[in-house]
Amino acid sequence: MSNPFNPNQHMDFYNQQQHPRNYQQQPNMGQHSMEQQVLSAVNPIINHGMREAQHLGYPHALREAVAIAYLMGQGQDFQSAWQMVESWWRPQTPTQPGTFY
C-alpha cells in the first residue's frame, strides 16, 4: 500500500505559494536562518509522525506529533518529549489510571 501523503509534494506547493520568486533568488539571511532552524527542529517530529501513521493511523500520529512539539516548545528536548508522550499510550499497571487516548 502506498503512502498517500508525500511531504515533498506539499513542501513544493508551500514554497510556491509562500515565497515569491525574488525571495527564492535573494533570501533574507535572517529569515532563512530562522526557517532552517525551525524546520530542523521539527524534522524528528515529522519523521516520528509519519512512521506512527503507517501503523496507528493519522489521527493518533498527529496527536502524538503535536504533543511532542508542544512539550519541545515548553523546553524539553525531542527525546524527553517523545518518551513522555509514548508513556501515555503504554499499558498501565493495575495501580495506575487507565491509558490516555
Can you give the pLDDT at residue 57? 94
Domain that holds residue 59: 38-93
DSSP 33-99: HHHHHHHHHHHHHHHHHHHHHHHH-HHHHHHHHHHHHHHHHTT--HHHHHHHHHHHHSPPPTTSPPP
What is the value of pTM for the model shown? 0.59
Residue 22 belongs to some domain of the structure: no
Mean pLDDT of 39-44: 93
Q: Could you tell me if residue 27 is inside a domain?
A: no
Split at pLDDT 50, 70, 90, the class of 21 is very low
pLDDT of 11 strictly over 50: no
Residue 74 has pLDDT above 80, yes or no: yes
Domain count, the chain: 1
- 90 confidence band (pLDDT: 50, 70, 90): confident
* 66 touches 82 (CB < 8 A): no
Q: Let me know if residue 15 belongs to a domain.
A: no
